[in-house]
Copies of this chain bind each other. A is one copy, B any other.
Amino acid sequence: MKIDRTALERALQDGAGASADLFAQLRAPWPQGGVHRDTYGPGEQRAHELVRRHGEAMGLESSVDFAGNLVLTWPGRDRAAPVWITGSHLDSVPEGGNFDGAAGVVAGLAAVAALRQLAFEPAGDITVMAIRGEEASSWYQGDFHSHVGSRAALGLAQEAELLRARRISDGRSMHELMRAAGMQPEQVRPGHAAIDPARCKGFIELHIEQGPVLVNRMRPVGLVSAIRGSARARRARCLGEYAHSGAVPHELRKDALLAACEFCTRMDEAWTDARTAGKDLVFTVGRFFTDASVHSITKVPGEVSFSIDLRSQESSTLHEMCALAQDLAARISQRRSVQIDLGPFNVSEPAVMDAALLDSLRTGSAALSLDALVLPSGAGHDAQDFARAGIPTAMIFVRNDKGSHNPDEAMDMQDFLTATGLLAWQLTQ
């Protein structure tokens, strides 16, 4: 069944009020400032119940998997046919924004509502998933990975992680909190999945853009090419020797600061070279400091600490830059009589979105005259876990001002409906 563009737009506009209501209800407990939908805590729980009631009121089938993910299903003609999954997470960071995560869940429901109004009959099930714990690392500490809900549902998580993850506020384990909420953390293990990739047609996550690219290019909708991987050095150091700033001449100095500055400047130049060569790369030194307990205006610094965050859609670019950084560190160390020790790079590989699904979304964008911009995602998303599980995965970005993870994130409802139209279109394919 071919979807008529004008009819789809009308259906979405008809549903706009319901989406706005749902956003308002999600926001209600925090009328001012940031939202606090804490992972496996009352904030997230409240959002899940709200969305479950909304989905059930729409007549969707509702279930909750062993990790607490909410699954709302619009049955297809053939219940055994491949399933579309769409959705995102409902938790937020502390003092977070109302749209990061939640927009993808509300969009799924709005897309289903619009398609039902158009009397579309899905071939297979269409599932809207409200995922748990994407922001877990903002609420818990310890040796565990974030994206708990999606990884658990896909058989990519471990029970031991849930025991090690301790809530920052009170030290209780995530495992204990999940049990207390009626979930089955003991079922979380590699290979034990609530979702069978073989039964999935694909996973599509709609999310607000966390950067300023769509705002800057004046485009309401983006299509994600890949979720950038990262190579991070958390505790890089440059060791030299403290010395009197007036009495020690250049040739006898081991100046840690000027060496570390040169390292950053050369890396910055290499970043320009990589971009000029058409590579995808961002390079950030977020922390950089002389030792406040020792440093002084009249001392040549003997130590500098800094961090490195390299991100790219291309695994090869990440690994090339790590090698280049190590080489630069060694050469500058020798030339300047210091020791630049970058420590190990912690590498998280990029997640490339499914090429066929991306092509299909481009077609949809053209059909709906959206002129969607293809761009990488610099931040991590549940979608990367679905891609890793072998499910054809795509992401739709909605233009958003003022960044995310803060109360000021500003998504226009019209942009939301435009992006939701593209999601709806894709669910009919």
| Chain A residues packing against B (C-beta within 8 Å) | 209-213, 216, 228, 230, 232, 234, 243-250, 252, 255, 257-258, 260-262, 264-265, 268, 271, 275, 282, 284-290, 292, 295-301, 304, 307, 309, 311, 377-380, 403-404
- A230: chain B residues at CB < 8 Å are 246
Does B265 lie within 8 Å of A284, measured CB to CB? no
Does B275 lie within 8 Å of A250, measured CB to CB? yes
- How distant is A320 from chain B, measured CB to nearest CB, in Å? 17
Assuming the contacts A212-B252, A244-B210, A258-B268, asked whether A297 and B301 have C-beta atoms less than 8 A apart, the reply is no
In the complex the two chains form, what is the Cα distance from A212 to B242 in whole Å?
A: 12
- A404: chain B residues at CB < 8 Å are 244
Q: Which of A210, A284, A288, A380 has the most CB of B within 10 A?
A: A284
Q: Which of A245, A304, A307 has the most CB of B within 10 A?
A: A245
A–B pairs, 13, beta carbons within 8 Å: A213-B247, A228-B246, A234-B297, A244-B378, A244-B404, A245-B284, A246-B282, A247-B379, A258-B264, A261-B262, A261-B265, A284-B298, A286-B297
Does B290 lie within 8 Å of A292, measured CB to CB? no
- A301: chain B residues at CB < 8 Å are 285-288
Given A245-B378, A246-B309, list of 5 further CB < 8 A pairs? A211-B244, A248-B378, A265-B265, A284-B298, A286-B300
- A264: chain B residues at CB < 8 Å are 257-258, 261
- A248: chain B residues at CB < 8 Å are 211-212, 282, 378
- A295: chain B residues at CB < 8 Å are 286-287
- A232: chain B residues at CB < 8 Å are 297
In the complex the two chains form, what is the Cα distance from A209 to B232 in whole Å?
A: 44
Residue of B nearest to A232 (CB): B297
Pick the residue among B243, B261, B262, B378 that contacts A247 (CB under 8 A): B378
Q: Which of A286, A378, A379 has the most CB of B within 10 A?
A: A286
In the complex the two chains form, what is the Cα distance from A282 to B403 in whole Å?
A: 43
Does B285 lie within 8 Å of A288, measured CB to CB? no
- A403: chain B residues at CB < 8 Å are 243-244, 247
Pick the residue among B244, B286, B377 that contacts A245 (CB under 8 A): B286
Does B286 lie within 8 Å of A288, measured CB to CB? no
Does A245 lie within 8 Å of B309, measured CB to CB? yes
Q: Which of A289, A299, A404 has the most CB of B within 10 A?
A: A289
Does B252 lie within 8 Å of A216, measured CB to CB? yes
Does B309 lie within 8 Å of A284, measured CB to CB? no
- A246: chain B residues at CB < 8 Å are 210-211, 228, 230, 282, 309, 311, 377-380
- How distant is A124 from chain B, measured CB to nearest CB, in Å? 33
In the complex the two chains form, what is the Cα distance from A282 to B288 in whole Å?
A: 23
Q: Which of A211, A311, A404 has the most CB of B within 10 A?
A: A211
In the complex the two chains form, what is the Cα distance from A288 to B212 in whole Å?
A: 29
Does A249 lie within 8 Å of B292, measured CB to CB? no
In the complex the two chains form, what is the Cα distance from A211 to B287 in whole Å?
A: 32
- A255: chain B residues at CB < 8 Å are 284
Does B309 lie within 8 Å of A285, measured CB to CB? no
- A250: chain B residues at CB < 8 Å are 271, 275, 282
Does A289 lie within 8 Å of B286, measured CB to CB? no
- A209: chain B residues at CB < 8 Å are 247
- A268: chain B residues at CB < 8 Å are 258, 261-262
